[in-house]
Structure 1
């Protein structure tokens, strides 16, 4: 658990006040009472040191400076994010307990579970999408495939011969592979691993010929040349690797997958508080230093409104439900 506080100098306060006035001018009715009454706990439903944890700490630190309140980062692990998400879904709607949710907590896990412990829409207050992170399609440097079209041709020439690895059943990289199978009309057996690191080791070692991974985790291996990146899975190229084309550019124009981090609160939070927190998280996300750090982590800073985040979650559920059902993916 980590506490983030702020002690503003006169210069810093003046700078923050000017920025805040610009952002919040249309919300002149906002006051201190629109913020939570005490310290805010931001629940990170994954282990410390992971990508979600790192993003959370950068953004929370900036928000704490902006609102001059304490934000405590609490890592609540278990069941692929379900334990931490469930805790927030059952918290008081006072804004003092928030969640750094992901596509796993708000789309994949609920769709895979036989009896979901929460409703990803009804049991949360959407606040702001922080960042999206591409997945990436990788092969060993010795592979004959140098682009997506060549890879698809290989898979069609010898159906069932090739397998692909991912960080586990139901993870965003797993869904990236399943979506490619559906859209390209190819066969690949899925080889699930307990995390991206062992999967990458087997790709480098030649045990698997194809790997879908989160770009932030694969970045060091791409830079070192030990893994060849054929494509990122977002519609736009990643700012951290602008030379890697997208899957959509290479013959599958509607292909798009990614993971994301977004702020949610318990259900029933006051509208004024929700809007105020959303504005503060948007401001922090788009701060020059925070934005640059997120880009360095292979992310695409977003900073959405509550309505935009709510619509995004609904769209993700509609998109992935049929794919998860067709692939027979179930929570382990």
Structure 2
């Protein structure tokens, strides 16, 4: 069945959902689809929030289901085709909601048409890190090395269309360097090859790499933002290092299938926002470089539209298209 037919069926289901059923929500387990492998922030965040969200929603179990592939597209399609009843939710990142539609020649879903925003949970900048064997300690030295030895450096990414991919392509364009892109199925395997020295570097989200920098397993080059990250105050930003236009980061939100009733979305939003404001959870997120957002569905919808337009421009500029 096509996504269009699935959408019509979902709309009919939502219209048939009685106020009494919505009032009783939830009365069975809720599944959060994580469209990436285990071992990354996109997996950690829902697992951290799950128990607290469960308590707020009648104590029903919150189940985490990993469905990686195509930069989150497979998990997105799985969620888009689910019944719009609040029992299937997607952990959606920048790539899923703002990049895929521009980078893929034939996108598998429409972020705007197939999903209802619930909440933007947290955000973090990216950080360029290299294997300690790479003979560069800052952005200027890294660019000089890439120019002196064109084609010898490589950068890993969490997959085609991921923020780590877009960041690497933007670095190539802005610095005028030739660095080979090696995509992976998620950030965890990408990082393993950078740690092992099989790939030179990665521009991954801060929360995924900060502990490796703290322990000396990876060398920090720059945070891809206007300002430094307070968790690593000695690491300069790309703006300070001479590439102010190299700004990349990732945000992590939750969305439901299109046509999910507003009162169910409101219940979910409150449960997630309350969990994100829990002092223990907020401290844990901030400790790995994540900033809590915890906005409203309408605010998240407007933010997605703004980010989508920004990413369209970046993708076109870097020519990072996938057939």
**TM-score, L = length of structure 2:** 0.80
Match of 2:228 in 1: 237
* SS in structure 1 at match of 2:202: strand
Q: After superposition, what is the alpha-carbon deviation per residue over 1:252-303, rounded to whole angstroms, capped at 9, x for unaligned?
A: 2243212222110111223333234223312211211111111233322211
Among 307, 319, 323, the alignment partner of 1:327 is 319
Moved more, 164-173 or 191-200: 191-200
Aligned to 1:59: 49
Q: Mark the CA change 1:35 to 1:266 in structure 2 (over 3 Å): closer, same or farther.
A: farther
Aligned to 1:269: 260
Q: Please give the alpha-carbon distance, in whole angstroms, between the structure 1 residues aligned to 2:146 and 2:78.
A: 43
Cα distance in structure 1, aligned partners of 2:93 and 2:141: 32
Q: Residue 77 of structure 1 is aligned with which of 67, 72, 76?
A: 67
On the 8 A contact 1:76/1:83 being kept in 2, the answer is no
1:226 deviates by 2.9
Q: 1:44 aligns with which of 31, 34, 37?
A: 34
1:156-183 deviation digits (Å, cap 9, x = unpaired): 5665554433333322211111122233
Q: Secondary structure at the match of 1:128?
A: strand
Tell me how large the CA RMSD over aligned residues is. 2.9
Look up the SS of the partner of 1:316 in the other structure.
Answer: helix
In 2, the alpha carbon distance for the partners of 1:247 and 1:257 equals: 10
Distance 1:47 1:36 in 2: 29
Q: Distance in 2 between matches of 1:173 and 1:35?
A: 42
**Structure 1 residue 189 corresponds to structure 2 residue 180:** yes
CA distance in 2, matches of 1:202, 1:266: 35
Aligned match of 1:127: 118
Q: Which moved more, 1:282-291 or 1:228-237?
A: 228-237
Whether the aligned pair in 2 keeps the contact of 1:137 and 1:230 (CA below 8 Å) is yes
2:182 maps to 1:214: no
Q: 1:32 to 1:285 in 2, by over 3 A?
A: farther
- Pairing 1:253–2:224 present: no
Give, in whole Å, the separation in 1 of the partners of 2:232 and 2:171. 21
- Please, which moves more after superposition, 66-75 or 298-307? 66-75
Give the direction of change, closer, same or farther, for the CA distance of 1:125–1:213 in structure 2 (3 Å limit).
same
Residue equivalent to 1:9? none
Q: 2:5 maps to what in 1?
A: none
Deviation string for 1:93-112 (max 9, x for gaps)?
32222211112322333333
**Superposition pairs for residues 1-332 of structure 1, below 5 Å?**
36-39=25-28, 40-80=30-70, 81-156=72-147, 162-196=153-187, 199-200=190-191, 202-204=193-195, 206-325=197-316, 326-330=318-322
SS of 1:251's equivalent in the other structure is coil
Distance (whole Å) between structure 2 residues aligned to residue 196 and residue 271 of structure 1: 34
Deviation of 1:131 after TM superposition, in Å, equals 1.2
How far did 1:119 drift?
Answer: 0.7
Secondary structure of 1:231's aligned partner: strand
Q: Given the two structures, how large is their TM-score scaled by the length of structure 1?
A: 0.78
